[in-house]
């Protein structure tokens, strides 16, 4: 896999869209990797990776998205 931006060998894949990215073009973004309901307060909680690999090209949503189908 090559970097989406400069076409050199990619060091990793964007967590959000799957594009390859090299060290130079890699950025980081918080990434919600799991959502669960706390057993104490019955609230939906999210586990977040603060510095997930981001290609800098795609635009992950900054705001939480409602997931009514999981209710």
Binding residues for Zn ion (CB under 5 A): 3, 5-6, 14, 16-17, 19, 22, 25, 55, 58
Beta strands in 1-71 (DSSP E): 12-13, 20-21, 27-37, 44-54
Return the number of the residue (2 or 64) whose C-beta is nearest Zn ion. Answer: 2
**What tokens were used for 19?**
């594009």
* Shortest reach from residue 43's CB to Zn ion, in Å: 29
Looking at beta carbons only, is 19 or 52 nearer to Zn ion?
19
Query: Which pair of structure tokens corresponds to residue 8?
Result: 């050199």
Q: How far is the CB of 27 from Zn ion (least distance, A)?
A: 9
SS3 11: coil
Which residues on neighbouring strands pair with residue 22, listed in sequence order?
Answer: none
Closest distance to Zn ion from the beta carbon of 46 (Å): 19
């Amino acid at each position: 896999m090559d970097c989406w931006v400069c076409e050199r060998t990619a060091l990793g894949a964007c967590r959000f869209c799957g594009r390859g990215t090299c060290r130079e073009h890699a950025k980081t973004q918080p990434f919600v990797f799991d959502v669960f309901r706390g057993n104490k307060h019955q609230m939906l909680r999210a586990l977040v990776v603060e510095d997930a690999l981001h290609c800098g090209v795609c635009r992950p949503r900054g705001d939480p998205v409602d997931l009514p189908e999981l209710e």
